[in-house]
Structure 1
Amino acid sequence: MTAFTPFSPTAAVPASPHPLADEYERAHLFFEARDYAEAARILVPVVEAEPAHLAARLLLARSYYHSAQLNRAEAEARRVLDRAPAEAYAHLLLGRTLQRQNRDDEAAPHLRLAAAMNGEYAGS
């Protein structure tokens, strides 16, 4: 007969084999709950550990944008575009971020490019 081991609320939780993925998912939950500042706080170490993870970097840029950390949003969007110049959403995000900073002339090319990449007419 096998011995019964009761559940202990103080038992250590086994370590996840993918802690960065877990943190990314946790950040995504905070983002979906509209706690953008907390999502950004969680994502910073994820992006530092995996700088090439564009989805995490883009979510970080979005979190910064929605929490009105516009300089940080701009910097992250530019980092995404440095690595993936064809990322339409990063162009849109950068354009909107620049607009919110009253930098319409800088925003316009990114917004036109995002619209063109999505098959929309952006106008002149």
Structure 2
Amino acid sequence: MERRAAKEALEVLEPALEADPDNTGLLTLRAWAYLIRVQLQRAETDLERLVAENPTDDWAQHALGRCLERQSRYADALPHLRLAAAMSGDWDHGLAVLRVEERLSTKDE
């Protein structure tokens, strides 16, 4: 994944997840690979599962928010981005909140 070789990573992750479908680490890596490959529906499915299993996972919350944002689903993205920003204190997460809030405010004009 470090080389952004998402296709190759998915070739390894798919059989590993078939053998161990509840492995959160593998599921996280697959979601990341899907995001890199812009397979947003698949990433969303994995990220929703990760968030449902552990709502305090700020990475999963932020990644789900970004996934939804990339699909122009700003209203759906905002709660996940806000939660991730509040939990992590990461300035990048805060900027994502501001960016989506701005898109929502200009959308209504």
Give your verdict on TM over 0.5: yes
After TM superposition, the structure 1 = structure 2 runs for residues 20-35 of structure 1, keeping only pairs within 5 Å, are 31-35=1-5
Which one of 56, 65, 71 corresponds to residue 101 of structure 1? 71
Q: Percent identity?
A: 40
- Structure 1 spans left out of the alignment, 5+ residues: 1-30
Secondary structure at the residue paired with 2:89? coil
Partner of 1:91: 61
Partner of 1:77: 47
State how far apart, in whole Å, the 2-side matches of 1:52 and 1:37 are.
21
Q: CA deviation at 1:86?
A: 1.1
1:68-103 Cα offsets, whole Å, 9 max, x none, are 100000000011112112111000100000011010
State how far apart, in whole Å, the 1-side matches of 2:79 and 2:18 are.
29
Q: Which amino acid aligns with 2:12?
A: I
Q: CA deviation at 1:42?
A: 1.5
- Structure 2 spans left out of the alignment, 5+ residues: 102-109
Structure number with greater Rg is 1
Matched, 1:68 2:38: yes
The structure with higher relative contact order (CA 8 Å, sep 6+) is 2
Q: CA deviation at 1:112?
A: 0.3
State how far apart, in whole Å, the 1-side matches of 2:42 and 2:50 are.
12
State how far apart, in whole Å, the 1-side matches of 2:40 and 2:76 are.
14
1:29-82 Cα offsets, whole Å, 9 max, x none, are xx1111112212211121222122111101100000011100000000011112
Larger helix share, 1 or 2 = 2
State how far apart, in whole Å, the 2-side matches of 1:89 and 1:65 are.
13
Q: Which amino acid aligns with 2:77?
A: A
Matched, 1:50 2:20: yes
Greater Cα offset, 36-45 or 87-96: 36-45
Q: TM-score, normalised by structure 2?
A: 0.79
Q: Which runs of 4+ in 1 moved over 6 A?
A: none
- Alignment RMSD, CA only? 1.5
Q: Which amino acid aligns with 2:58?
A: A
Matched, 1:116 2:86: yes
